[in-house]
Structure 1
Amino acid sequence: MPSHKPRGGSTPKPAKKCGCWFTTLSVLVLAFALLTPIYLYLDARLEQFYIFSPPQLHDLSLRAIGAHGNDTRAVVSYIVGELSEKLPGGYVNLDEEWIFNNAGGAMGAMYIIHASITEYLIIFGTAIGTEGHTGRHTADDYFHILAGTQLAYTPGSYEPEVYPQGSVHHLRRGTVKQYKMDEACFALEYARGWIPPMLGFGYADTFTSTLDFPTLWRTTWVTGREMISNLLRGKL
């Protein structure tokens, strides 16, 4: 019978395939090379994307407290009302959609007033007190105390930082502290910088502790809705 073997009497070996890891690595390196200068360019110009400022919000908080004292509900209403007048067009969420928030071991509730790629403004607090880790963030965080007192601690200190009603606790970008809110404490929290990387800190406790997925979904829905709507308005 005729032989079906190829000439030379040996079976050819299949060609070696290039490892897919090499292709993946190349794509990642290319993406990094392309995105890094874009990030650096935008990071140096973040100021032009902001629609709020810490001095403006501090002044507003003090006037709201001066007008309504310890009536925190009225203080919040005063703040949101003035912001909506000065920033028409949907930048301010007028619906008080309170959502539980677990992050860094602390638990409270938040009302998202504004969320975009470079800023968020929320009311955060609790009526019974909490304590936890601030997180190490890609944005500066300004905690305007509307009611109660917040304590903060950094390693090496022997005395707490004390932030009473009307004061501002500025957590600088990239720094971290322990914080505590004794009993009832509410604040107007303003973050400016890169907001999306902060979301992981806000989500982590759901997967490692609470397993409260309905709250996770609601947080994602409201945050995503506000960020996307602001992007459609041209607000980064």
Structure 2
Amino acid sequence: MRTLTYLGAFVALFSALFYYLDSQLDSFYIFSPQQLHSLAIDAIEAHGNDTASVVSYIAKDLHEKLPLHINLDEEWVFNNAGGAMGAMYIIHASITEYLIIFGTAIGTEGHTGRHTADDYFHILRGTQLAYTPGPNSYEPEIYPQGSVHHLRRGDVKQYKMDEACFALEYARGWIPPMLGFGYADTFSSTLDFWTLWRTTAVTGREMVRNLWLGKL
């Protein structure tokens, strides 16, 4: 009986803390979707379809503004999630935000996942298609270069990149619960534990570093 009482008290305290922190999420962010969209447009206007230069432009600009929170090392790793496969470069990872370059040179398709964060997909090259089922949903959503696909927290879609497509992907909300989706395909399909280790090492290092700097 005493154990149940303690458990109930813990759950109540944890829930209260979570709802309080959730209501304060905006105070933890150091990026904004509007800022990142403007930066993506500037990079595209400066370099067009030279994606390597677009990525370098974005990373260097962010580093000038937030030098302590930006990873300039392009440590590209494969990413398998929701049946889709691509590669990513982690620019920033913390408890409440991540910023990556994600994409593929040959196309892919999969499930977005249902997440605890809002996800903003700033298309740097190519086109992304998306689909949500419904009684009047018979045409794809189309996101060309320079546009933003906003997947709201808790929503889910099918998405596809027919050919080469790269994006600046920004998530804001609770990031740790999203990691399970990113890891699941390793255990159910690819068994690529080396990539899992590299992803965990880079993500963990950046999260710990940002926590050390006081960035939740």
TM-score normalized by structure 1? 0.89
Moved over 4 A (4+): none
- Partners of 1:165 and 1:102 lie apart in 2 by 23
Which one of 162, 166, 189 corresponds to residue 186 of structure 1? 166
Equivalent runs, 1:1-236 vs 2, <5 Å: 23=3, 25-89=4-68, 91-156=69-134, 157-236=137-216
Residue-by-residue CA offset, 1:56-99 (whole Å, 9 max, x unaligned): 0000000000000000000000000000001122x000000000
- Partners of 1:26 and 1:130 lie apart in 2 by 50
Q: 1:26 to 1:205 in 2, by over 3 A?
A: farther
Q: 1:27 to 1:133 in 2, by over 3 A?
A: farther
- Partners of 1:86 and 1:134 lie apart in 2 by 30
- Partners of 1:127 and 1:112 lie apart in 2 by 18
- Partners of 1:27 and 1:208 lie apart in 2 by 37
Q: 1:199 to 1:26 in 2, by over 3 A?
A: farther
- Partners of 1:69 and 1:26 lie apart in 2 by 61
- Partners of 2:199 and 2:5 lie apart in 1 by 36
Residue-by-residue CA offset, 1:126-184 (whole Å, 9 max, x unaligned): 00000000000000000000000000000021000000000000000000000001110
Q: Which amino acid aligns with 1:85?
A: E
Deviation of 1:31 after TM superposition, in Å, equals 2.3
Deviation of 1:28 after TM superposition, in Å, equals 3.8
Q: Which amino acid aligns with 1:139?
A: A
> Aligned-pair RMSD on alpha carbons?
1.1
Q: Which amino acid aligns with 1:81?
A: K
Residue-by-residue CA offset, 1:39-68 (whole Å, 9 max, x unaligned): 111100100100000000000000000000
Q: Which amino acid aligns with 2:108?
A: T
Q: Could you list the runs of 5+ residues in structure 2 that have no partner in the other structure? A: none
* Structure showing greater relative contact order (alpha-carbon pairs closer than 8 Å, 6 or more residues apart): 2
